Copies of this chain bind each other. A is one copy, B any other.
Amino acid sequence: MVDLKTMGQQARESSKILRNLNRETKDEVLIALADQIAASQDLILAANAKDVTLAQQNGLQPALLERLRLDESRLLGIADDVRKVAALKDPVGEIFDSQVLPNGLGVHKQRVPLGVLAVIYESRPNVTVDVASLALKSGNAVILRGGKETLHSNCALVQVIHQALETCGIPVTAVQFIDSSDRALVMELLQMNDAVDMLIPRGGAGLHRFCRENSRIPVITGGIGICHLFVDESADRSAALRIIQNAKVQRPTVCNALDTVLVHRAIAGEFIPALVDYLEEDGVQLKMDPKALQCAVGLTGADERVAPADPEDFDREWLSLVLGVCVVAGLDEAIAHIEAHSTGHSDGILTRDEEHAKRFIQLVDSAVVYVNASTRFTDGAQLGLGAEVAISTQRLHARGPMALEALTTYKWVIEGEGHIRPD
């Protein structure tokens, strides 16, 4: 029996201690955690092996099984990431927007932790450590609810986190884990707006919708990416091919993977056959609109890998080696297509025309807008944030990759010398 109410109260209490820790203490906990992960390898890998066996018995998809599996090198990678978080600047206490008002009042803002976070997530066990370390570094308590297929791994990792906290004299209730797959608990968690300040669901669209519809806690939604690249008339063709390949093929199951290529009609006749050819070795399936299809008719090998797109295909996040291809009349039609079909995650233009790049940046309102680069850079570590707790595609609070600063808020500090407000 998980008593969520008590868990919430304990999280709130420990957040009051965490928010006043100095950087040294927080880094000490993180380094203890990294050491402890390395020292507890056997324990963690044994727990993970149990999860893997169960998952195999339950017929989990190979891609998900792959995400779930830990080995020594992955585990050391996780420990290393914790050390990287320790090395990051502490956002808490930062002072900004300082001013002295004409009446002499001193005013500034001071960055403080959000308080208590709750994160609901699926298979990957590294998320447990990533989120816990970012939460601790930013002075927040956290309640974690991982997927049932990673239960043993997560319990072992949380045990290790608790050992590190204890070593440093921090209450273990700073990081709590809901070790139950009872879905009713999620509903109960969503009502705990007094105890929890921010809820991050990490998973499919269904989980996000469920949280959006039922949560009294402010929710950060994101992680769903229907991502586009527009190949403009002036694009460097060979760079475009490389970028499209990287964005589509490197890791097709993640949210920043490419879903649709929009090709300027002036170059479609040449570029689309080249694209079909370039992606042959990677086995990418291409779903084409009628104009694109015309450009691919009769190509060697195209029969097997090229197919007409259904209209709704341009509203699908593929998460696999499938790529939509669409011919557009030019920049404005490309922007209109993105406006209509993008989830506002990551969209880019490949061009040598500076005016077109500017116009694209101005008019495409996605969390991350690219010029001449792969959408795969939408990632906290790639963008210098150290790690990420989520990639937000909503507009409130934080957008795009969220890391330490996104786990803080601020207070206003107003210092006077007996100031009263005049009538």
Measuring CB to CB, which residues of chain A are less than 8 angstroms from any residue of chain B? Answer: 16, 19-20, 99, 101, 105, 107, 110, 112, 114-115, 193, 197-198, 212-213, 216, 218-219, 236, 239, 242-243, 245-247, 250, 339, 348, 357, 361-363, 365-374, 376-379, 382-384, 394-397, 399-401, 409-421, 423
> Chain B residues with Cβ under 8 A from A423's Cβ?
250
Q: Is the CB of B374 within 8 A of A415?
A: no
The answer to whether B115 and A395 touch across the interface, beta carbons within 8 angstroms, is: yes
> Contact at A421–B112, with CB atoms within 8 Å?
no
Tell me the smallest distance from the CB of A23 to a CB of chain B, in Å.
14
Most buried by B among A114, A348, A383: A383
- State the CA gap A174–B20 with chains docked (Å): 44
Instruction: Please give me the residue from chain B that is nearest to A376 by CB atom.
Output: B421
Given contacts A239-B418, A242-B420, A419-B373, contact A412 B396 (CB under 8 A): no
Alpha-carbon distance between A243 and B414 when the two chains are bound, in angstroms: 14
A44 CB, nearest partner CB in chain B, Å = 25
Nearest B residue (CB) for A421 = B376
Q: Please pick, from B19, B363, B396, B401, the residue contacting A197 in the complex, using a CB distance under 8 A.
A: B396
Given contacts A397-B396, A423-B250, contact A383 B107 (CB under 8 A): yes
Whether the Cβ atoms of A114 and B384 lie closer than 8 Å is: no
A420: chain B residues within 8 A (beta carbon):
242-243, 245-247, 373-374, 376
Interface pair B399/A409, CB less than 8 Å apart: yes
Are B243 and A411 closer than 8 Å at their CB atoms? no
Q: How far is the CA of A218 from the CA of B218 in the complex (A)?
A: 7
By the criterion CB–CB under 8 Å, are A417 and B114 in contact?
no
A242 to B422, CA, bound (A): 12
Where chain A touches its partner, the secondary structure class is mixed
Copies in the complex: 2
A-B contact pairs, 29 of them (CB 8 A): A101-B383, A105-B373, A107-B384, A198-B395, A212-B216, A213-B216, A218-B397, A246-B421, A348-B414, A365-B411, A366-B411, A368-B412, A369-B414, A371-B416, A372-B416, A372-B417, A373-B416, A373-B418, A374-B416, A374-B420, A374-B421, A377-B419, A382-B421, A383-B412, A396-B396, A396-B397, A397-B397, A400-B411, A401-B412
Q: When the two chains form their complex, are residues B419 and A399 in contact, meaning their CB atoms are under 8 A apart?
A: no
Contact B421 A250 (CB under 8 A): yes
A414 near B370 (CB under 8 angstroms)?
yes
Could you tell me the distance in whole angstroms from the C-beta of A114 to the nearest C-beta in chain B?
5
What is the chain B residue whose CB lies nearest that of A409?
A: B395
The answer to whether B213 touches A414, judged by C-beta atoms less than 8 angstroms apart, is: no
Contact among B219, B370, B378, B416 for A218, CB-based, below 8 A: B219
Closest residue to A93 on the B side, CB-wise? B362
Check A198/B396 contact, CB under 8 A, given A216-B212, A239-B418, A382-B421: yes
Residue from A219, A339, A365, A394 having most chain B Cβ neighbours under 10 A: A365
Whole-angstrom distance between the Cβ of A359 and the nearest chain B Cβ: 10
Distance A401 CA – B412 CA, assembled complex (angstroms)? 9
The chain B residue with its CB closest to the CB of A199 is B396
Shortest C-beta distance, A306 to chain B (Å), equals: 24
What's the minimum C-beta distance from A390 to chain B, rounded to whole angstroms? 13
**Chain B residues, CB < 8 A from A421:** 246, 250, 374, 376-377, 379, 382
Q: Are A410 and B419 in contact (CB under 8 A)?
A: no
Residue of B nearest to A115 (CB): B395
Q: Which residues of chain B are within 8 angstroms of A16 by Cβ–Cβ distance?
A: 339
A321: shortest Cβ distance to chain B, in Å?
16
Query: Which residues of chain B have C-beta atoms less than 8 A from A417's C-beta?
Result: 239, 372
Tell whether, in the assembled complex, residue B197 and residue A395 are in contact, meaning their CB atoms are under 8 Å apart: yes
Let me know if B412 and A362 touch, CB within 8 A. no
CA–CA, A245 and B420, complex, Å: 9
Q: Which residue of B lies closest to A101 (CB)?
A: B384
Minimum CB distance partner of A401 in chain B: B412
- With a 10 A CB-CB cut-off, give which of A213, A372, A413, A414 has the most chain B CB atoms: A414
